[in-house]
Chains A and B, each alone.
Chain A
Amino acid sequence: MDNLPAALLNLSLTGYVVGAVAGLLFLRAEKLANVFTFACASLASLCGVVSSVMALVTGAAAANQSVQLLPSLIPYIQFTIRVDPLSAFFLLIVSLLGFALSTYSLGYAKGFFGRKNVGLLGAFFNALLLATVLTFVADNIWLFLIAWELMALTAYCLVSFDHEEPETRKAGVLYFIMSHIDAGCVILGFLLLFQASGDYSFASLHDIGAQMSSGKRDAAFLLFLIGFGIKAGIVPLHIWLPVAHPVAPSNVSALMSGVIIKTGIYGLTRVLFDFLGTPPLWWGVTVLTVGTISAVLGVLYALMEHDLKRLLAYHSIENIGIILMGLGAALMFLNTGHTVLAALALIAGLYHTINHASFKGLLFLGAGAVLHATHTRNMEEMGGLIKRMPQTAFFFLIGAVAISALPPLNGFVSEWLTYQALLQGFGTTDSLMRLIFPLSGAMLALTGALAAACFVKAFGITFLAQPRSKHAEQAHEVSASMRFGMGVLTAACVVLGLFPTQFVQLLDPLTQQLTGQQISAQLSLANGLVLTSLTEKSGTVSTLGISLMFVCLLPIPFGLWLVFARNSKTRRGPTWDCGQRGLTPQMEYTATGFSKPIRMIFKALFRPRRDVQREYEFSPYFATTIRFESHVEEVFERRIYQPLQILILRVSRQIRALQAGSIHAYLLYIFVTLLLLLLVFAR
């Protein structure tokens, strides 16, 4: 069976189509729609997982063939797909997450029964997965752009699913505008590439940068960086992300944060490593700098949030930044000809890509479960959920530890690889530019530590202590299918964390394709127990070993209990309340309070504003009511986007004069344009 991966992929695509059509057929029968659409999606994505793993294991040759998906009726527009290692890797990400999300949705969508149309949700969900898969496997500019647009449109429909809320409609429109700016940039970029190649197939674009003039190449780089950067959510093009991701249904938020923004990463990797040839130094420096800035600012803004899903959305910006740090370093190494190091940095970036998909997907599903149970996204109204939703709390905790880059889970492994790539980058050049490596490493450390602070807040305020509202008090554990979906991603976080050397073997064909090096053997030591950074001398780590160490050292405290504490008793008592009569939830630390020191320390960035209104009868110290408001300035919205918006509106008002509504004027415009074109081109 040579073509099993391809057959499975076709099966998977068919599954999504069937799911989407079924959703539309069962618009009136919500229970049927729920079961049918999400079952189709989970089976389809399971096929996708198997197909992509097989494609990666069997290596480049077997799967690396162009397949015609549909007969093309129009010349140039070929519907061809090809699963090369890079596509296979991203196919694995989307399918893995798709599987977890679809099973989760089986339970989650029940919350919409009688309220919203589940058939529509399922149809769009399948269509979005289909479009994303097509984006990853398209082998032709046309198919890629069609899939890209289909993805943007279906995602728009899903973001606006709760369109009764004005906030959601606004978010949807913003997402729509931004994704079309990005599509515009990507189309322009591909036009530049097409100009050099004369062919639309991706195969003809390989290394096309070598045939382009450096000016066009740089222009293409910038267009792709902006276009794909908007999709990925890099700072300062991120403004749509924290607005659009939270308002979507949580399964869709997870899909968007886990996979859809990764299409930007896929696009950048494809274009920069496959198409544009050996990069100039400043490309790598730009990508690395943009990544570093996105990482730090993303996490800082996340800390200011007390809306659980917005907080997670800001963390997506942070993690995209970390991924770009790996990719940027890889570009710099390619420039200096250090292909082995480039492979290491690329592995770091792509490893973080799949890690982020798994833990961010998990966290969004956890947030969805919390939202399902408490009907609020506001962390200040949660608390104590660990007792009411113990399994969800456990899953969320694993996700929080993983995203905070703490050993022994997967976030730690990919950040460790990123650190190693950055550190070894210091020796690759003599120019002052090499300082960028350790400095961005230090910023990565800041990011990691701030992320830990943020997730102490997110987990601590949401799940620990006393419930802060009636809703939180009456919360209940979510259904089995939702817990299963979270469990799948939890397992992914643990496996990717404990078995890194086995996983990087899957990436060998990929680095072979993009950098010409296979380094998984060099990264593995002691039968794969220990992960190295290329050599044993330059650095080693073993997450599995660390976990085993924990297990082996655990008898020490238990031994101490046996020796000393045999007669000691444990009893439950109230928390110390300074002699007051009992603690109330109002006395607990709040999410806003938790991040106050950070807000004060970085006040130059946040420009916090607070507004306190007190009403009192005798003395201001005995207030009858207090109203407290605290705001953080959204720097990018106010300093960049608002002036830009005002400018655009002003210019359009001027242009409006041209559009007078008179058909004679329009005929005149057409005539003048035609004349001008003839003068310019008809020689």
Chain B
Amino acid sequence: MNLDLPSILAQTASLLLMAPLLSGLIKNWKAKLQNRRGPRIWQPYFDVAKFLRKDMVISEHASWIFSATPYVVFLTALSAGLMVPMITARAPMSLFGGALALVGLLALGRFFLALGGLDPASAFGGMGSSREMTLSAIAEPAMMLAIFTVAIAAGSTNLSQIVLASQGPHWKFLDPSHALAFAAMFIVLLAETGRIPVDNPATHLELTMIHEAMLLEYSGRYLALIEWGASIKQLVLISLLANIFFPVGLAAEATPVAFGLGLLFFAAKLVVLAGAVVLVETTNAKLRLFRVPDLLSAAFILATLALVSTFLF
């Protein structure tokens, strides 16, 4: 086994650098669609830099779990990102884990984030943890079933293999099973990244918060790390969707031209998917907490249909 060090470094760097940009893009476009000017798309970088410089206040009730959580959230998102194909079909760390490891790593991050929410003894944090763990539990089967559908078609759970298998003449987006699995995954993406029908990333009301409620006690550089980790997770999930379901334009050979082209295609796919997220966010209202399971079970049914339709077509 030989590790491809340059590609690891390149992918790590692009994960770190592109994630805030994607968040900024979504925020900016959302504002535009709502007839607001909105923050610049570079704003998340400034935010991270600002948070990094600030002093920290840590709750006197908190234990070391509270301090360990930002690292775990950040590192799990980053390691999961190294398993997802971005510009080329071959993800640098794809040998160390595929779709199942990715789901597991994100779950590890969430596990600690939920503990971090409970640690400072605040009721809001507990509320956030409780809701986050509940909703993710309901989203998980839909996500897994959608992944299984593509994994079975490709004969592998390895994301690089899945992409390679669906590339070129085998690409069958119009295949009903793929389309249905994509729809299911998209709903799961909204839930996992805390987007509007499920959670509101811009809310300031603690009682409606899910993800933000767990972070209420975080400040300074820990907050920066968690926010950055969350945006990396969003990038990872969106690029997962982009490259599994639209495996076009991935760099096939290691030349600068191919990489440039691959980067261009990748950016285009991200922009399209981010646009879809923005559209959903602006045209929908946040669902009441106990209506969200309906949405997620719809995703589960879509994924089941995707699986069943592999029989029919």
Contacts and interface: CB of A to CB of B under 8 A. Distances in A.
Contact of A571 (B58, B127, B137, B144): B58
Given A407-B104, A419-B100, A464-B63, A453 B82 contact: no
A296 to B, nearest CB: 10
B1 A546 contact: no
Interface stretch (B150-158, B236-244, B251-259): B150-158
A477 to B, nearest CB: 14
Contact of B126 (A426, A443, A567, A589): A589
Given A546-B105, A553-B12, A540 B96 contact: yes
Nearest to B216: A576
A450 B95 CA distance: 28
Interface string B186-228: 0000000000000000000000000000001100110011000
Contact of B158 (A407, A456, A539): A539
A416 B126 CA distance: 30
Given A575-B217, A594-B126, A538 B145 contact: no
Contact of A598 (B56, B104, B134, B157): B134
A26 B75 CA distance: 55
B21 interface: no
Interface stretch (A80-88, A508-516, A526-534): A526-534
Interface stretch (B35-43, B106-114, B168-176, B273-281): B106-114
A550 B76 CA distance: 8
B74 interface: yes
Interface string A439-457: 1011111101110110111
Interface string B136-154: 1111111111001101100
Question: For this complex, into which size category does the number of interface residues on chain B fall?
Answer: 35 or more
Contacts, number: 289
B95 A526 contact: yes
B123 interface: yes
Given A456-B114, A557-B71, A445 B144 contact: yes
Q: Is the interface of A mostly helix, strand, loop or mixed?
A: helix
A541 interface: yes
A564 B126 contact: no
Contacts of B103: 445
A52 B311 CA distance: 46
A536 to B, nearest CB: 8
A540 B122 contact: no
Interface string A303-342: 0000000000000000000000000000000000000000
A537 interface: yes
B4 interface: no
Interface string A466-493: 1000000000000000000000000000
Given A445-B141, A564-B49, A575-B60, A569 B97 contact: no
A572 B61 CA distance: 9
Interface string A416-444: 10011001001100001001001101111
Interface string B37-57: 000000000000100111111
Contacts of A383: 121
B219 to A, nearest CB: 9
Given A448-B140, A560-B52, A571-B58, A435 B63 contact: no
A570 B121 contact: no
Contacts of B293: 601
Contacts of B94: 540
A616 interface: no
Contact of B56 (A465, A571, A587, A596): A571
A87 to B, nearest CB: 32
Contacts of B303: 442
B198 to A, nearest CB: 13
B300 interface: yes
A549 interface: yes
Contacts of B79: 546, 549-550, 553
A597 interface: yes
A238 to B, nearest CB: 21
Interface stretch (A36-44, A53-61, A113-121, A398-406): A398-406
A34 B145 CA distance: 52
B97 A541 contact: yes
Contacts of A561: 52, 221
A152 B180 CA distance: 51
Interface string A506-526: 000000000000000000011
Given A553-B78, A560-B221, 8 more contacts: A446-B141, A448-B107, A526-B1, A539-B158, A556-B74, A560-B52, A575-B120, A594-B129
18 contacts: A386-B63, A438-B152, A439-B145, A453-B134, A453-B137, A456-B129, A525-B1, A530-B1, A538-B155, A540-B98, A541-B96, A541-B97, A549-B75, A553-B79, A557-B75, A560-B52, A567-B53, A593-B130
